[in-house]
Amino acid sequence: MRSSVIVFPGSNCDRDIAVALEKMQFKNQMVWHKETKLPKSDLIVLPGGFSYGDYLRSGAIAGKSLIIDEVIKEANAGCLILGICNGFQILTETGLLKGTLLRNKNLKFINKDVHVKVINNETKFSNKYKKNQILNINIAHNEGNYFTNSKHLDQLKKDNLIAFKYCNEDGKINESTNPNGSLESIAGIYNSKKNILGMMPHPERMVEEIVSNKDGINLFSSLLS
Amino acid sequence: MKITNKIIEKHGLKLEEYENIKRLLQREPNLLELGIFSAMWNEHCSYKSSRLHLKKLPTKGKQVIQGPGENAGVIDIGDDDAIIFKIESHNHPSYIEPYQGAATGVGGILRDVFTMGARPIALLNSIHFGSPDHPKTKSLLNGVVSGIGGYGNCIGIPTVAGETKFNATYNENILVNAMAVGHANKNKIFYSKAKGVNKSVVYVGSKTGRDGIHGASMASAEFDENSDEKKPTVQVGDPFTEKLLLEACLELMKDNSIISIQDMGAAGLTSSSVEMASKGGLGMELELDKVPCREENMTPYEMMLSESQERMLIILDDGKENSAKKIFEKWDLDFVIIGKTTNTKNLTLKFNNKIEGEIPINALASKAPVYDREWVKKKPTKEKINLKDLKKIKIEDALVKILSSPNHSNKSWITNQYDQSVMCDTIQKSGSDAAIIRIHNKDKAIAVSVDSSANYCKSNPILGGKQIVCENWRNLITVGAKPLAITNCLNFGNPENKEVMGEFTECLDGIKEACEFLNYPVVSGNVSFYNGTNKKNIFPTPVIGGVGLIKKLFKPLGHSFKKDKSKLILIGKTFGHLEQSCFLKENYSINKGMPPEINLLNEKNNGENLLKLIDKNLILSSHDVSNGGLLVTVSEMIFNSNYGAKLHKPKKLTSLCEYFFGEDQARYVVEIDENNYSKAEKILKDNNIYYEMIGNTQKDYLEIDGELKISTKDLFKVNNKWYNNY
């Protein structure tokens, strides 16, 4: 499977995702933000980081960058798109995903391993997970508090577009298991065609036992299957 | 403009120093030249009060590639891999403007490391605040923590370890020390020494603004009631630009374009150009009208003294200008040839084709003042504490008091604000004795830790100095690393005060002795004097940052208990030393007596043999016994584990408090699986290591026969209480 990782100035998880993809036998290429053409790809990844410093709204400038027009074109043509952390923020800025990511409810950057539940395990990104499987996965963000309007929220629920929800280790979902104040504890969502996934947690950080655990691996192996 | 006494004083120079300047120039300087002298001759850049004493530190060893004197120290970790690291203070700016002060502290130390060709792989910090009750502490703490996080998180280097301490001595002068660690190929290290005449001197990175002018001079004076007015001297950090600069520099370093490179840190363009020229025995000519400026109508004086961040000065080899420029253009950074190296041995500053200043380089560097300041020895105190004179206290109450105190309570509310996992090589995060970082794509790792013991150093600087080196060494040992070298950040009061100068020299004596004995050389460091306000000096606070090597990577042990019913041993002898202990401080507010004795031979033997046990995979977890003593150590091993412990009462010592809270050194608590116990015991016995069985792990409770029983859940709660109510 061919993957492309878009590198914006200020991306800082680009190497991490590339290492994870290569480990999973993806044929990966790095694509600089000033490029105007994308290599032929089955998967395009928008990595985590602070694109353009995120001095404006997170992801706002990246959402207007040269390469992003190509990403939007490919997305509309059905290419698989994965946005992690800052990548998720960029996807909401481009409109490829609806809703927005507000500042964490405690107004602080949060980095820790949290639990998330796999809500939909029937997509290209999640078919190797079990339904309601609980993953232990790292988050690292300042703006991960997902918000959207009630109409869109209804659609997310009705069409099974919620990918992951924050929970505790037993799978309970409530306010105390929600690290950043996200609406309905949402940690990741799909677009209506389910070819685009945006998520705040970092699956690329969870592919090696010695560093953390392997809970992120099935996301990549789902894509390969 | 006539240079008056008032102008000289405003530049932080003494009148006799000004006379010296005139002698060196054989004329009066103009204002630009005076500014440059003030920037190079202040304490922060010239080390004029410390230089004589720093010479005594051991800086050599088989593992050392580059000792002090460069941007950072370099050590060899085998297979062509080098680790480049340094710690630096940003105390004064952080007190005036905590967020930017701390952020630029991180940015500055990162540049010191990547300017030498290393990709930074870890950040650490040691931060000291005043009493939690002091009205400024809370906002300073918040600002500093957000600043450290803000910079490190954005640039994408994990902040993996650190320490946060509170003590009223820092009420008016906090300490913010940041350490950066990078990895490079041993054969691709870049130095600051200029070579060759007529080579292009290139300015890269951010534009120059008016921020930070006289920052280094500010850091070379005590605070007074007008300190808040110094806000404009604090620089503003831009981690995004630093990220671009980092990538652009590393890209340029792939080929052989660079002759030398130096970051513009304290005293900006002045110190970088002078240092490069001075090391190469050359001169340098700069055309200041070419300097990229952020603001209009900047004068040569402002350009030379600005401490705008995220800038570098590079000397390029002939013909490499165009290819180098392309790289910086790709990253949208300024790249301007602003001058050339010369053989005049002068710093020549031109503006609009007119020479605005010309100073012999050696006048700024090698001929900068060196002071042998007066100092006095500290008399060892004879104060002893007799427990019988104190109100009796239950072990449980004493333990709870310590674990719920600001200094000992859980600090994850701080570390959770730092990205510790980015780069995917953090094997052991903070919360253990040391962090472990894998060398990317390799089967080995380094361990890193920062430590300080200001109370010990205040009471007895020699012992205190020794103790910190030993504690830092122990912290690396417990995670299974062989300690290799240290960097130090020496935070002291006013060196013109002979007691302070005495604390400084004696702390160094202690550090020297321990480093020599443990073959643990100092490869880089920084001195921060004038930490104090209105003549009140801070406690002497040397901070030690150590790096060790784990040759073959293994799943980290961590210091939390792993199993039910495993055996617990205590390596090292317990004498029950309570003077200067947390026990007396937290329970009786007593801060008296000598710190514990240090026996370097025991220190070395105990540590090296624990390392053997770890290498042979015989132990489950280990934790060094430091502040708080044995019972606090065991409690810390209980947090984050599912197990408690059952401990025996001591056979010999009469006082339980002495046994459980004494702070004797060279000790470790080790958890061993029953099946491995006899093997471990044999190694310790064969090597004459003193150890004792202290009990075993168990479920749910921390227990001492008939004296204490507290559930592990309650223990955890107690440890997390303080911050939630702060």
Q: Which two tokens stand for residue B544?
A: 């030690």
The CA distance from B249 to the nearest CA of chain A, in Å, is 14
pLDDT score at B387 = 85
CB-based contact B126:B168 (threshold 8 Å): no
Of the residues A55, A111, A200, A215, the best mutation for testing chain B's interface (the one with the most B CB atoms within 10 Å of its CB) is A111
Q: Exposure of B336 by Cβ count < 10 A (0-12 exposed, 13-18 middle, 19+ buried)?
A: middle
Query: Residue B417: which of A50, A109, A212 has the nearest Cβ?
Result: A109
pLDDT score at B535 = 83
Q: Which residues of A touch B (CB under 8 A)?
A: 9-10, 12-13, 15-16, 19-20, 32, 34, 48-50, 52-55, 108-112, 138, 140, 142, 202, 204-205, 208-212
CB-based contact B72:B114 (threshold 8 Å): no
Contact A50 B426 (CB under 8 A): no
Please give the helix or strand (H or E) that residue A150 lies within, else none: helix A150-158
Nearest CA in chain B to A112: B416
Interface contacts (A, B; CB < 8 Å): 85
Q: Which of A13, A33, A79, A85 is catalytic?
A: A85
pLDDT score at B128 = 98
pLDDT score at A169 = 95
Query: Residue A210: which of B241, B332, B553 has the nearest Cβ?
Result: B553
pLDDT score at B95 = 94
Helices (H) and strands (E) in chain B, counts: 25, 28
DSSP string, B102-131: HHHHHHHHHHHHHTTTPEEEEEEEEEEE--
Distance from chain centroid for Cα A92: 11
What's the pLDDT band for B352 if we cut at 50, 70, 90?
Answer: very high
Contact B424 A110 (CB under 8 A): no
CB-based contact B575:B595 (threshold 8 Å): no
Contact A49 B418 (CB under 8 A): no
Please give the helix or strand (H or E) that residue B65 lies within, else none: strand B64-66
CA atoms of B529 and B105, how far apart (whole Å): 16
Contact A52 B240 (CB under 8 A): yes
Query: Residue A111: which of B156, B331, B416 has the nearest Cβ?
Result: B416
Chain B contact set for A205 (CB, 8 A): 421-422, 424
Contact A12 B244 (CB under 8 A): no
pLDDT score at B357 = 96
Q: Which residues of B touch A (CB under 8 A)?
A: 146, 149-150, 153-156, 238-241, 243-244, 330-332, 412, 416-427, 438, 553, 555
CB-based contact B587:B406 (threshold 8 Å): no
pLDDT of B434-457, one tens digit each?
Answer: 999 999 999 999 999 999 999 999
pLDDT of A93-152, one tens digit each?
Answer: 999 999 999 999 999 999 999 999 999 999 999 999 999 999 999 999 999 999 999 999
Query: Residue A109: which of B153, B421, B423 has the nearest Cβ?
Result: B153
pTM recorded for the entire structure: 0.95
Q: Which residues contact B509 (CB under 8 A, 6 or more apart)?
A: B56, B461, B462, B465
Q: Which residues contact B695 (CB under 8 A, 6 or more apart)?
A: B568, B645, B646, B647, B648
Nearest CA in chain B to A50: B154
CA atoms of B493 and B491, how far apart (whole Å): 7
pLDDT score at A184 = 97
DSSP string, B134-203: STTHHHHHHHHHHHHHHHHHHHT--EEEEEEEE-GGGTTS-EEEEEEEEEEETT--------SSSPEEEE
The CA distance from A209 to the nearest CA of chain B, in Å, is 8
Percent of chain B beyond pLDDT 90?
88
Q: Where are the domains of chain A?
A: 2-224
pLDDT score at B220 = 62
Nearest CA in chain A to B238: A53
Query: Residue A211: which of B146, B332, B427 has the nearest Cβ?
Result: B427
Dihedral of the alpha carbons of B188, B194, B196, B197, in degrees to the nearest 10? 150
Please give the helix or strand (H or E) that residue B454 lies within, else none: helix B454-459
Alpha-carbon torsion B611, B616, B617, B618, what sign? negative
Contact A54 B244 (CB under 8 A): no
Produce one character per residue of A4-43: b if its CB has 16 or more CB atoms within 10 Å, e if not.
Answer: bbbbbbbbbbbbbbbbbbeebebebeebebeeeebeebeb
Q: Which of B546, B598, B641, B726 is nearest to B139 (CA)?
A: B726
Nearest CA in chain A to B422: A13
Query: Residue B422: which of A13, A112, A210 has the nearest Cβ?
Result: A13
Query: Residue B422: which of A52, A140, A212 has the nearest Cβ?
Result: A140
User: Quick check: is A169 catalytic?
Assistant: no
pLDDT of B296-346, one tens digit each?
Answer: 999 999 999 999 999 999 999 999 999 999 999 999 999 999 999 999 999
Q: Exposure of A183 by Cβ count < 10 A (0-12 exposed, 13-18 middle, 19+ buried)?
A: middle
Please compute the mean of the pLDDT values over residues A2-20 and round it to a whole number: 97
User: Does the structure's ipTM exceed the value 0.85?
Assistant: yes
Chain B contact set for A204 (CB, 8 A): 424
Chain A contact set for B421 (CB, 8 A): 111, 138, 140, 202, 205, 212
Q: Which of B3, B79, B678, B36 is nearest to B304 (CA)?
A: B36
CA atoms of B641 and B28, how far apart (whole Å): 69
Contact A55 B427 (CB under 8 A): no
pLDDT of B114-128, one tens digit each?
Answer: 999 999 999 999 999
Contact B421 A111 (CB under 8 A): yes
Please compute the mean of the pLDDT values over residues A156-162 and round it to a whole number: 97
Please compute the mean of the pLDDT values over residues B86-104 and round it to a whole number: 95
pLDDT of B663-686, one tens digit each?
Answer: 999 999 999 999 999 999 999 999
Indicate whether B189 pLDDT > 80.
Answer: yes
Q: Which two tokens stand for residue A53?
A: 């410093």
Provide the annotated active-site residues of B. 44, 90
Q: Which of B557, B31, B159, B398 is nearest to A140 (CA)?
A: B159
If one compares B535 and B188, the residue with the highest pLDDT of the two is B188
Contact A53 B416 (CB under 8 A): no
Distance from chain centroid for Cα B663: 24
pLDDT score at B226 = 65
SS3 B709: strand
Q: Which two tokens stand for residue B101?
A: 């002060």
Per the CATH hierarchy, to which homologous superfamily does domain A2-224 belong?
Answer: Class I glutamine amidotransferase (GATase) domain (3.40.50.880)
Nearest CA in chain A to B423: A16
Q: Which of B412, B421, B486 is nearest to B451 (CA)?
A: B486
Indicate whether B147 pLDDT > 90.
Answer: yes
The CA distance from B469 to the nearest CA of chain A, in Å, is 29
pLDDT score at B227 = 62
Q: Taking chain A, what is the end-to-end CA distance rounded to the nearest angstrom? A: 10
Show the CA angle centred on residue B666, arms to residues B663 and B671, nearest 5°. 95
Chain A contact set for B412 (CB, 8 A): 112
Chain B contact set for A208 (CB, 8 A): 424
Query: Residue B419: which of A32, A54, A140 has the nearest Cβ?
Result: A140
pLDDT score at B231 = 58
CA atoms of B415 and B160, how far apart (whole Å): 8
Helix ranges (H only) for B203-267 are 215-218, 239-252
Percent of chain B beyond pLDDT 70?
97
Q: Which two tokens stand for residue A32?
A: 């600089």
Contact A19 B424 (CB under 8 A): yes
pLDDT of B216-265, one tens digit each?
Answer: 665 666 766 666 666 566 788 999 999 999 999 999 999 889 999 999 98
Q: Which two tokens stand for residue A141?
A: 């963000």
CA atoms of A33 and A19, how far apart (whole Å): 19
